[in-house]
A and B are shown apart, each in its own frame.
Chain A
Amino acid sequence: MSGTAVAARAFVDFRDVALAYDGQSGFAVEDISLTIGAGEFVAIVGPSGCGKSTFMKLATGLKSPTRGQVDVEGARVTGPLKIVGMAFQAPTLLPWRSTLDNVLLPLEIVQPYRATFKRDRELFAERARRLLATVGLAGHEDKFPWELSGGMQQRASICRALVHEPRMLLLDEPFGALDAFTREELWCVLRDLWQAHRFTVILVTHDLREAAFLADTVYVMSKRPGRILARREIDLPRPRDLEVTYSDAFTDIVHDMRERIGLIRKT
């Protein structure tokens, strides 16, 4: 997968998508039309309760749209996709499993790894260890989640989302509960993982600096019912260093997006 440039062809394609939850009046999201290229890093920002998480569920096939159509890799999404990894604000690691076993969980479930899991366990464990090492968790593999700090748990959670080499990574405010320094560290961890593997990322966040630093394209969503109000390409050169967040160009981008969000909140 690495080596392929950010392709222009659509990897995820939303066409006039709307979703209403059962027993609720009105749509949670509506009129969503956008395309995401393979290997593109997309961030979705907006006020809280704007349907950002609903957007994620639509992209993974966990929810089917009430109206419109979602295509992934040119095929219509009808059920949960198996090529995705997910991580949330809460690390949701299993407390009875060691960090290593937590990261191995997807390989016990997803095919083709599942079929050979018992036989290739050592091989997979080695791979999980390497992945944990790249996010700075070497030496913590055998600890239990509750023995790790919040930032370390979130690193492990991202490893779990990536261990089966998904084509698409979905992150729902993954750094929301972390302190500012840990958050910036993990931005870099995510940036490096993405640079190395070039999976497609959909990052849901309300942190504009986070979105501007990490993403190729930022979509701004409105209040409920969520619509895409603006699309902003971040043309800062890559690879980006944390220093870039103090540059004028970066500040301008964040400022511009902040103003748009400010307008939404007033209406």
Chain B
Amino acid sequence: MLRWAPWLVAGGILIVWQAICSLFNVSEFIFPAPIAIARSLVEYAAPIAMHAWQTFWTTMAGFAIGVAVGLLLGMAIGSSRFIYRAFYPLLVAFNSIPKAAFVPILVVWFGIGSLPAVLTAFLICFFPIVVNVATGLATLEPELEDVLRSLGATRRDILFKVGLPRSLPFFFASLKVAITLAFVGTVVSETIASNEGIGYLMMSAGSSMKMPLVFAGLFVIGVMAMVMYEFFAVLERRMTGWAHRGSAAAG
């Protein structure tokens, strides 16, 4: 029953949605019904696939940069109180700027195309990784650090033997947040400044009043983000089973 619950809810919403649209005869230009959306998904399958691939790879590229930068910055901030004090306020300020505001700047610098999308995805997704990795490192038990230091462990030893393994659960949890944010970044950038990608597809479909196609775009983004989220959730369980022992590792 628990297994099927999400499917039941999703199916139920679709049925209610379809019923409302059919019963009240809602115009397709305002709010298309699920069947109309499905029809346009099939009809425009080829262009949708092309734009979806564009969105997917730019997102993954931005996400990859975000993971690399986030990890390094998180390690630096988490292992040094000085760097923490010096950089953290700046990072928080940076994070509170809406990333859409960067897109015009990126367009001036790099032109219309994939690069602004990659960079927007990166800018929006690295922050949660930094915060989580830094938290994982900074919350190391002082006793454990004493044990290691009294053995003559260098800072590097402590980082690799204890700090990093210990912050892995934090890291993987942040990947799940970051990947969905990366999709947000890409699509925002594509709607503002691109002629490729799902964001662009939705913009142009909207301006030519093809509302079912706009919704089909939403659906595709949702599916891609969900699949990637699940992928990282599975990876998290695989890599850090010890941290989730309450539910999974009873055996």
Counting chain B residues whose Cβ lies within 8 A of the other chain, the interface size class is 20 to 34
* Selected contact of B141 from candidates A92, A106, A146, A170, CB within 8 Å: A92
Binding-face segment, B9-17, B27-35, B147-155, B192-200 = B147-155
The answer on a CB contact under 8 Å between B150 and A105 is no
Known: A94-B162, A95-B243, A146-B245. A110 touches B152 (CB 8 A): yes
> Taking the nearest CB of chain B, how far is it from the CB of A41, in angstroms?
19
- Whether B43 is near chain A, meaning CB under 8 Å from some CB there, is no
> Taking the nearest CB of chain B, how far is it from the CB of A247, in angstroms?
35
- Whether A109 is near chain B, meaning CB under 8 Å from some CB there, is yes
**Of residues 25 to 65 in A, which have CB atoms within 8 Å of B's CB atoms?**
57, 60-62
A-B interface contact total, Cβ < 8 Å? 62
* Selected contact of B147 from candidates A61, A81, A92, CB within 8 Å: A92
A120 to B240, CA, bound (A): 28
Report the nearest B residue to A83, measured CB to CB.
B150
The answer on a CB contact under 8 Å between A108 and B242 is no
Report the nearest A residue to B168, measured CB to CB.
A96
- Whether B222 is near chain A, meaning CB under 8 Å from some CB there, is no
* Selected contact of B165 from candidates A82, A96, A172, CB within 8 Å: A96
> Taking the nearest CB of chain A, how far is it from the CB of B58, in angstroms?
35
A25 to B242, CA, bound (A): 42
The answer on a CB contact under 8 Å between A144 and B242 is yes
* Selected contact of B150 from candidates A62, A95, A96, CB within 8 Å: A62
Known: A96-B165, A96-B242, A105-B161. A84 touches B150 (CB 8 A): yes
Known: A57-B146, A146-B242, A146-B245. A110 touches B141 (CB 8 A): no
A81 to B148, CA, bound (A): 11
The answer on a CB contact under 8 Å between A88 and B161 is no
Known: A109-B152, A109-B153. A86 touches B242 (CB 8 A): no
A60 to B151, CA, bound (A): 10
The answer on a CB contact under 8 Å between B152 and A82 is yes
Report the nearest A residue to B146, measured CB to CB.
A62
A160 to B148, CA, bound (A): 11
Contacts of B245 in A (CB 8 A): 95, 144, 146
> Taking the nearest CB of chain A, how far is it from the CB of B74, in angstroms?
19
**Of residues 155 to 195 in B, which have CB atoms within 8 Å of A's CB atoms?**
157, 161-162, 165-166, 168
Report the nearest B residue to A60, measured CB to CB.
B150
Known: A62-B149, A82-B150, A109-B151. A92 touches B161 (CB 8 A): no
Report the nearest A residue to B154, measured CB to CB.
A109
> Taking the nearest CB of chain B, how far is it from the CB of A230, in angstroms?
28
* Selected contact of A109 from candidates B161, B165, B242, CB within 8 Å: B161
> Taking the nearest CB of chain B, how far is it from the CB of A130, in angstroms?
20
Contacts of B168 in A (CB 8 A): 96
**Of residues 177 to 210 in A, which have CB atoms within 8 Å of B's CB atoms?**
none
> Taking the nearest CB of chain A, how far is it from the CB of B237, in angstroms?
14
**Of residues 62 to 96 in A, which have CB atoms within 8 Å of B's CB atoms?**
62, 80-82, 84-86, 88, 90, 92, 94-96
The answer on a CB contact under 8 Å between A80 and B152 is yes
Contacts of B148 in A (CB 8 A): 109
Report the nearest B residue to A160, measured CB to CB.
B147
- Whether B19 is near chain A, meaning CB under 8 Å from some CB there, is no
- Whether A155 is near chain B, meaning CB under 8 Å from some CB there, is no
Known: A92-B144, A109-B157. A80 touches B150 (CB 8 A): yes
* Selected contact of A90 from candidates B143, B151, B157, B240, CB within 8 Å: B143
A188 to B109, CA, bound (A): 72
A108 to B158, CA, bound (A): 11
- Whether A251 is near chain B, meaning CB under 8 Å from some CB there, is no
Contacts of A161 in B (CB 8 A): 147
- Whether A111 is near chain B, meaning CB under 8 Å from some CB there, is yes
- Whether A223 is near chain B, meaning CB under 8 Å from some CB there, is no
A86 to B148, CA, bound (A): 9
Contacts of B141 in A (CB 8 A): 90, 92
Contacts of A88 in B (CB 8 A): 143, 147
Report the nearest B residue to A170, measured CB to CB.
B150
Q: A109-B148, A110-B151, A110-B152 are in contact. List 16 more A-B contacts (CB 8 A).
A: A57-B146, A60-B146, A62-B149, A80-B152, A82-B152, A85-B150, A86-B146, A94-B162, A94-B165, A94-B166, A96-B168, A96-B242, A111-B152, A146-B242, A160-B147, A164-B151
- Give me 16 A-to-B residue pairs in the complex whose CB atoms sit less than 8 angstroms apart, sorted by A's number: A62-B146, A62-B149, A80-B152, A82-B150, A86-B146, A86-B147, A88-B143, A92-B144, A94-B144, A95-B243, A96-B165, A96-B242, A109-B157, A144-B242, A146-B245, A164-B151
A residues sitting closer than 8 Å to B (CB atoms) are 57, 60-62, 80-82, 84-86, 88, 90, 92, 94-96, 105-106, 108-111, 144, 146, 160-161, 164, 170, 172
B residues sitting closer than 8 Å to A (CB atoms) are 141, 143-144, 146-153, 157, 161-162, 165-166, 168, 240, 242-243, 245
